[in-house]
Amino acid sequence: MGNIETIERLSLNQITTDKWNLREAVDGCARADIPSIAIWRHKLTELGLAESKKVVQDAGLSVSSLCRGGMFPAATNLERQERIEDNKRAIEEAAELGTDVLVLVCGPAPDKDIDAARKMVAEGIEQIIPFAQEHGIKLGIEPLHPMYAAERSVIVTLNQANTLVEQFKTDAVGVVVDVFHVWWDPDLYNQISRASGKILGYHVSDWIVPTPDLLMGRGMMGDGVIDLRKIRNAVEKAGYKGPIEVEIFNEEIWNRPGDQVLGQIKERYLEFV
Amino acid sequence: MGNIETIERLSLNQITTDKWNLREAVDGCARADIPSIAIWRHKLTELGLAESKKVVQDAGLSVSSLCRGGMFPAATNLERQERIEDNKRAIEEAAELGTDVLVLVCGPAPDKDIDAARKMVAEGIEQIIPFAQEHGIKLGIEPLHPMYAAERSVIVTLNQANTLVEQFKTDAVGVVVDVFHVWWDPDLYNQISRASGKILGYHVSDWIVPTPDLLMGRGMMGDGVIDLRKIRNAVEKAGYKGPIEVEIFNEEIWNRPGDQVLGQIKERYLEFV
């Protein structure tokens, strides 16, 4: 398989233009003919949910996913129950916005017992599945890079995410593949194949060298070492034909004019993704 | 298994007191009754190999390992051959210094083909095994954290290291387990068990939160989230009773007086490792 020839599957993950509020990001996508956007929950507070939905609909954009649910492990049962409630709010918001995917960033351990935290993740997902099903929302487990194991997610490999998905035996749960998080994995292509029919999202960026920062060090596609085309081909072979989100945490990119960033995203998407 | 009761297995990995040259590090260990040191090759250039050896021997220290060989992948055959020659020099230096372990940091890919680079690592190790055997040196494959996959090592899991070791079918090759690199791995305890009889070194530090930096963000034992005792118990159950190296890359620790750092290392070693 070769180049992608159009941008019809391209989605702007809103964090890539973090300086823009939702209205500005939607307007930017409209100007750039980018058909889809992934929305972050903390950005919804700027306009409120109803107005956010209206802004997106009026522009004719589709919503590829809502970021994020998850964050299941916590020290006490009460706290874990609060996380469940928050996930239910996220599911409602996703449904209201008209996307069918809630991305799950599963959360770090509350203490040194990472195995126990992994069990809390499984229990948390299990608890929200019925609510997700009622709202027509699919839960996308996104394994994060192991360097985030202590602060963001004890789910750090696609293998783990696949094992969780298989455990639940429902179409309401799948995986999200983000190249930045999984490119290093010696078992990557086996695990993508294993995820066939269960991939709910595909995120691109690049791993730049030298890597400037753990969180803010992602690069524009083509600027780094990830074999993007090879991974996309594998993801497509596994049956995924949905939106491809560009999700880049990078201070330097955030500081550039958004329209310029969107222009470069389109070029790099067609050339490298 | 409980606390370690003495410091007889404690080794100072020289990088932990990076501001000290080898003579100062050796004197520091002697003052602190730390019986063993791990030496870095770039530190040997300060005194030269012969004088370095004399300084260590005169202080009665043993050398737990030499850091580092490896760095096998390269774009051309000529470059790869140069890396092999450099590894042979490292083996000679290790033998001269009286250690039996050369730590291998296997190197990054020269391009986007990480699988090809992994093959180059296997070929590189295979080429230096006979030379290592002649010199009585064991090659310790150290998987690095996946966040170093692009810059330091395409070998990022203990699973990969174990697979390489089993492939070579010789006691001249084993693995080095560093908690900082492997603590996040969902398959860690299986892989430590699989490495039984093949563990050539054990390194400790901690993973601190928030993590300040990719390279310089390691913490003192007890300051982070790693369950050090659980991992040591697993490593001992797998038959490893050798030196335990404290290896910390951290600017703040480097800037403290070395004797103070060594004092804290001893306390933390007895309390947390």
Which tokens hold the place of A106? 């599963």
3-state SS class at A48: coil
pLDDT higher than threshold 80 for residue B50: yes
| DSSP 8-state class, residue A159 | H
Report percent pLDDT > 90 for chain A.
96
Which residues have a Cβ under 8 Å from the Cβ of A91 and sit 6 or more positions away? A69, A102, A128, A131, A132, A135, A137
Q: Tell me the residue ranges of DSSP E strands in A127-270.
A: 138-141, 173-178, 199-204, 206-207, 218-219, 244-246
d(CA A23, CA A26): 5
Chain B residue at shortest CA distance from A224? B112
pLDDT higher than threshold 70 for residue B1: no
Predicted pLDDT of residue B52: 97
- pLDDT band at residue B237 using 50, 70 and 90 as cut-offs: very high
- List the domain boundaries for chain B: 10-272
Q: Which residues, in sequence order, are bridge partners of residue A207?
A: A218
**CB spacing of A150 vs B113 below 8 angstroms:** no
Interface confidence (ipTM) of the complex? 0.96
Closest by Cα among A106, A94, A107 to A164: A106
Which of A113, A184, A209 minimises the CB distance to B146?
A: A184
Angle (CA) A245 A192 A155, round 5°: 75
**CB spacing of B150 vs A186 below 8 angstroms:** no
Q: Are A176 and A189 in contact (CB under 8 A)?
A: no
Q: Which of B147, B192, B216 to mutate to test the interface with A (most CBs of A within 10 A)?
A: B147
Predicted pLDDT of residue B215: 87
Q: Which of A106, A111, A112, A191 to mutate to test the interface with B (most CBs of B within 10 A)?
A: A112
Rounded average pLDDT over A113-131: 98
d(CA B134, CA B258): 37
Predicted pLDDT of residue A66: 98
Phi, psi torsion values for B161, nearest 5 degrees: -60, -45
Rounded average pLDDT over B202-213: 95
| Chain B residues closer than 8 Å to A118 by CB | 186
Which of A112, A157, A207 minimises the CB distance to B150?
A: A207
Q: Enter the CATH code of domain A36-204+227-245.
A: 3.20.20.150
d(CA A257, CA A262): 9
d(CA A90, CA A65): 11
pLDDT in tens, A61-74: 999 999 999 999 99
Rounded average pLDDT over B152-164: 98
Chain B residue at shortest CA distance from A160? B186
pLDDT in tens, A213-262: 888 899 999 999 999 999 999 999 999 999 999 999 999 999 999 999 99
Predicted pLDDT of residue A1: 59
**Is A153 at the interface with chain B, CB within 8 A?**
no
d(CA A266, CA A260): 10
Predicted pLDDT of residue B188: 98
pLDDT in tens, A145-159: 999 999 999 999 999
Q: Which class is domain B10-272? A: alpha beta
Which residues have a Cβ under 8 Å from the Cβ of A77 and sit 6 or more positions away? none
d(CA A260, CA B248): 42
pLDDT in tens, A84-114: 999 999 999 999 999 999 999 999 999 999 9
Q: Are B19 and B254 in contact (CB under 8 A)?
A: yes
**Is A1 at the interface with chain B, CB within 8 A?**
no
Number of residues written out for chain B:
273
pLDDT higher than threshold 70 for residue B234: yes
Rounded average pLDDT over A128-133: 98
Predicted pLDDT of residue B184: 98
Chain A residue at shortest CA distance from B163? A186
Predicted pLDDT of residue A3: 80
Which residues have a Cβ under 8 Å from the Cβ of B79 and sit 6 or more positions away? none
**CB spacing of A209 vs B109 below 8 angstroms:** no
**CB spacing of B186 vs A157 below 8 angstroms:** yes
**CB spacing of B227 vs A113 below 8 angstroms:** yes
Q: Which of B121, B213, B214, B232 to mutate to test the interface with A (most CBs of A within 10 A)?
A: B214
**CB spacing of B113 vs A227 below 8 angstroms:** yes
d(CA A235, CA A242): 10
Predicted pLDDT of residue B2: 73
pLDDT in tens, B26-37: 999 999 999 999
pLDDT higher than threshold 80 for residue A2: no
CA of B162 vs chain A CAs: smallest distance (Å):
13
Report percent pLDDT > 90 for chain B.
96
| Chain A residues closer than 8 Å to B224 by CB | 150
Which residues have a Cβ under 8 Å from the Cβ of B46 and sit 6 or more positions away? B21, B22, B23, B52
Q: Which region among A21-25, A209-213, B61-65, B172-176 has the lowest average model confidence (pLDDT)?
A: A209-213
**Is A272 at the interface with chain B, CB within 8 A?**
no
| Chain A residues closer than 8 Å to B183 by CB | 114, 149
Phi, psi torsion values for A235, nearest 5 degrees: -65, -40
Three-class HEC string of chain B: CCCCCCCCCEEEEHHHHCCCCHHHHHHHHHHHCCCEEEEEHHHHHHHCHHHHHHHHHHCCCEEEEEEEEECCCCCCHHHHHHHHHHHHHHHHHHHHHCCCEEEEECECCCCCCHHHHHHHHHHHHHHHHHHHHHCCCEEEECCCCHHHCCCCECCCCHHHHHHHHHHHCCCCEEEEEEHHHHCCCCCHHHHHHHCCCCEEEEEECEECCCCCCCCCEEECCCCCCCCHHHHHHHHHHCCCCCCEEECCCEHHHHCCCHHHHHHHHHHHHHHHC
**Is A110 at the interface with chain B, CB within 8 A?**
no
Place of tokens 């780094």: A224
Q: What is the CA radius of gyration of chain A?
A: 18
Rounded average pLDDT over B116-126: 98
Which of B114, B149, B184 minimises the CB distance to A149?
A: B184
